[in-house]
Amino acid sequence: MNSPISLSQPEIQQTAIIVVAAGSGTRLGFGIPKALVPLADRSLLEHALDRIQLAGCAAQVIVVLPRGDTELAARAAAHPLKPRCVDGGATRNDSVRAGLAAMDEGTERVLIHDAARALTPPEVFRQVAAALVAGARAVIPVLPVVDTIKQVATDPGHGQPHITGTPARESLRAVQTPQGFHTPTLLAAHRRAAGWDRAQAEAITDDAMLMELLGERVDTVPGAAAALKITTKPDLVLAESMMPRHPEKESPMTEPTGNPAPLLIPRTGIGIDVHAVADPSESRPMWLAGLHFPGDQGLSGHSDGDAVAHAACDALFSAAGIGDLGTHFGTDRPEYAGAPGTTLLAEAARLVREAGFEIGNVAVQFVGRRPKFAARRLEADAVLSKAAGAPVTVTATTSDGLGYEGTGEGLTAYATALVYRVRP
């Protein structure tokens, strides 16, 4: 996976995700809709929704369910994402269309996702959404093909087909979901396909095919092994082996694999930093939250004194459980002496990711009389978010004249961070 992606609020607002979960799961053969089949302690649908929640890239989430299935509807309704639920149709294509019809009008981008790919990592959703934001009209996650793939034909009267060709493997890709689209283009493709008969509709196995038929360019992003489509029982066993594991919560559908794996529970961290304002005899620039505040006397300390950035670093280290500022930027790392707050934050984020985590967000509040912050808050959020590669928000308050923050002798920054494990 490439560098982490963060999307802005307006970009998230204009993005919807449709999760198609209306299939019957015939090949899995449990006699219940596939999306309801448990994997460890959650149904496949809930796993898919958990990861969409972690991805945080769409304001609207629409789940397409088997008509009349109250159990799945109840699970969807209880999920923190509070998705909109609609009834599906006879084919996957019908279900996608039902989802599209339930979307807010004018939504610019839509991701279509199979609940059957329940363990698709959040980063894949973000990559697809980001490619759309960057201008792609259709984008799909793909993986290289490991098998040699043959074309076949079956002669009348012969049971088994014979080979008619071997496409070059380097030119083949296995396709996954979520598939992302510029909504008006996808709607046009679906309108065109609306009159097709059932056989033609069933031949449409993914939405990108519709775009190809319209002559639209379809771009790709890297897929993920964990995004496998759970179709048969062995797929469920494989998916189980990839799961974060509570030993006491094995799936009733599969044998335990005994594979130790981390939990998909986010971890929070806290960081606090206090800096004194430098003595007036020594003129120092004020750097806070990655910004320079001309005219304000700066904070004392070996570094630039950026208490907001330092608290953010400590919160990240704390969340990942990998020590603190002293551990990583202490006297034995002279290259960080005097480094700007943004440099430290970028390095802290890198270390957290190196330890196997992705960053949900970092929130910082500082308490102090100066600098006057409100007018530069969004600028600070942008600079720090860029450094961390994840959303960082900064707020400010005063202490009603009390303490060193009230007299202006110093300030305190408090930070929290949320991280979640993406690798063992």
Instruction: Return the residue matching tokens 């003129």.
Output: 283
- Report CA-CA distances (Å) from 36 to 32, 43, 115, 125, 234: 7, 5, 10, 22, 17
47 near ligand CTP (CB under 6 A): no
Candidates 5, 16, 18, 20: give the one binding ligand CTP (CB under 6 A). 20
45 near ligand CTP (CB under 6 A): no
Residue 30 Cβ, how far from ligand CTP at the closest point, in Å? 10
Known binder of ligand: residue 306?
no
35 near ligand CTP (CB under 6 A): yes
# binding residues, ligand CTP (CB under 6 A): 23
Question: Helices 44-55 & 122-133, crossing angle to 10 degrees?
Answer: 50
Residue 311 Cβ, how far from ligand CTP at the closest point, in Å? 43
Q: Which is nearer to Mg ion, 197 or 332 (CB)?
A: 197
Per partner kind, with CB cut-offs from 5 to 8 A, the member of ligand CTP, Mg ion, none near residue 22 is: ligand CTP
Known binder of ligand: residue 162?
no
Known binder of ligand: residue 303?
yes
26 near ligand CTP (CB under 6 A): yes
84 near ligand CTP (CB under 6 A): no
Per partner kind, with CB cut-offs from 5 to 8 A, the member of Mg ion, ligand CTP, none near residue 376 is: none
Residue 229 Cβ, how far from Mg ion at the closest point, in Å? 10
Pairing of strands 60-65, 84-87: parallel
Residue 90 Cβ, how far from ligand CTP at the closest point, in Å? 6
Candidates 55, 116, 308, 316: give the one binding ligand CTP (CB under 6 A). 116
97 near ligand CTP (CB under 6 A): no
Residue 23 Cβ, how far from Mg ion at the closest point, in Å? 5
Known binder of ligand: residue 398?
yes
Candidates 16, 17, 23, 136: give the one binding ligand CTP (CB under 6 A). 23
Tell me how crowded residue 31 is: count the other CB atoms within 10 A of its CB.
8
Known binder of ligand: residue 61?
no
Known binder of ligand: residue 338?
no
Site residues for Mg ion, 6-65, by CB under 5 A, read: 23
In the 3-class helix/strand/coil scheme, how is the chain assigned residue by residue? CCCCCCCCHHHHHCEEEEEECCCCCCCCCCCCCHHHCEECCEEHHHHHHHHHHHHCCCCEEEEEECCCCHHHHHHHHHCCCCCEEEECCCCHHHHHHHHHHCCCCCCCEEEEEECCCCCCCHHHHHHHHHHHHCCCCEEEEEEECCCCCCEEECCCCCCCCEEEECCCHHHCEEECCCEEEEHHHHHHHHHHHCCCCHHHHHCCCCHHHHHHHCCCCCEEEECCHHHCCCCCHHHHHHHHHCCCCCHHHCCCCCCCCCCCCCCCCCEEEEEEEEEEECCCCCCCEEEECCEEEEEEECECCCCCCCHHHHHHHHHHHHHHCCCCHHHHHCCCCHHHCCCCHHHHHHHHHHHHHHCCEEEEEEEEEEECCCCCCHHHHHHHHHHHHHHHCCCEEEEEECCCCCHHHHHCCEEEEEEEEEEEECCC
Known binder of ligand: residue 397?
yes
Q: Which is nearer to Mg ion, 197 or 255 (CB)?
A: 197
Known binder of ligand: residue 326?
yes
Site string for ligand CTP, 61-80 (x = CB under 6 A): ---x----------------
Per partner kind, with CB cut-offs from 5 to 8 A, the member of ligand CTP, Mg ion, none near residue 64 is: ligand CTP
Known binder of ligand: residue 302?
yes
27 near ligand CTP (CB under 6 A): yes
Annotated binding site: 273-275, 302-303, 310, 324-326, 397-400, 404
Contact positions toward ligand CTP, by CB under 6 A? 20-28, 34-35, 64, 88-92, 95, 114-116, 229, 231
Contact positions toward Mg ion, by CB under 5 A? 23
Annotated binding site for a divalent metal cation: 273, 275, 310
